[in-house]
Structure 1
Amino acid sequence: MRIMAFDYGTKRIGIAVTDPLQIIATGLDTVHPMYIVDYLKTYLKTEQVERFIVGEPKQMDNTPSQSAIHVKGFVGLLKKTFPEVPIEMLDERFTSKMASATIAQSGMNKKGRQNKELVDTISAVILLQSWMAKAY
């Protein structure tokens, strides 16, 4: 079964998943929050997901950031819609900066580097990789 991670934003949600053996984390997609439930229902019809990992936005002093209230609402929606899938929160500080740095190092052109959807998806991959490093 796969593990799925979310980098939640009010405009886009970056999504990453593991392979079924939970060895490799891969960017899956970026979805508008309004469509996430339908997207996940469709995905879960064909793939088994063992657990959801959701990025927890924190400030440098470890207190919740301003976007934490939106993430809390998203987690509530996941729990209500997919009660059979456990959810874990994971500190997401620096994932967007790390994603931007990864994209910059890739040699991608300026237009590609400014693609916010790509940043969100790679942020979800970094989040998932961090969870995998702790879990295994």
Structure 2
Amino acid sequence: MPRILAIDYGQKRTGIAVTDELQIIASGLTTIPSATTINFLKDYFSNERVSKVLIGEPKQMNGEPSESAVVIEAFVKKFSSFFPDMPVVRVDERFTSKMAFQTMIDSGLNKKQRQNKALIDEISATIMLQDYLTRKMI
């Protein structure tokens, strides 16, 4: 079974998470500079089977798009032009950064380790993906 990949795209960094081949467990894959995302995905897709890609959709508390939505929409268009046959699912990414930070605290990481923004982005992508898997199974 192909994997599902999740992307937490940001202006500087992009967190990436992926499922196992049975699409049961989400795991953080990496965090990369956002400028390299398309090239990273080309390499990844050439080595791994992926059935769909989740891309975070930033929203404000009232459900309206957040300030960063413009940047992410541009990325989604670019992604779709490079990978026209890859299904894209947009997922609400509200609170994922806060949840990622809390996960780091709960995991016992020290203050210096919790300041690693790249790790926060990777954990955020993992949370988005695991939430999607959980809702899919209900």
Residue 127 of structure 1, CA deviation: 0.3
Residue 45 of structure 1, CA deviation: 1.2
Q: TM-score, normalised by structure 1?
A: 0.98
Give unmatched runs, 5+ long, in structure 2.
none
> What are the residue-to-residue correspondences of 1:11-30 with 2, within 5 Å?
11-30=12-31
Provide the C-alpha distance between the structure 2 equivalents of 1:75 and 1:135, rounded to a whole number of angstroms: 22
SS of 2:99 mapped into structure 1: helix
Query: Percentage identity across aligned positions?
Result: 51
Look up the match of 1:103.
104
Provide the C-alpha distance between the structure 2 equivalents of 1:34 and 1:113, rounded to a whole number of angstroms: 24
Residue 135 of structure 1, CA deviation: 1.5
Residue 74 of structure 1, CA deviation: 0.9
SS of 2:8 mapped into structure 1: strand
Give the residue type in structure 2 aligned to 1:132. L
How many equivalent residue pairs? 136
Look up the match of 1:128.
129
Q: TM-score, normalised by structure 2?
A: 0.96
Give unmatched runs, 5+ long, in structure 1.
none
> What are the residue-to-residue correspondences of 1:59-78 with 2, within 5 Å?
59-78=60-79
Look up the match of 2:40.
39
Give the residue type in structure 1 aligned to 2:76. V
Give the residue type in structure 2 aligned to 1:78. F
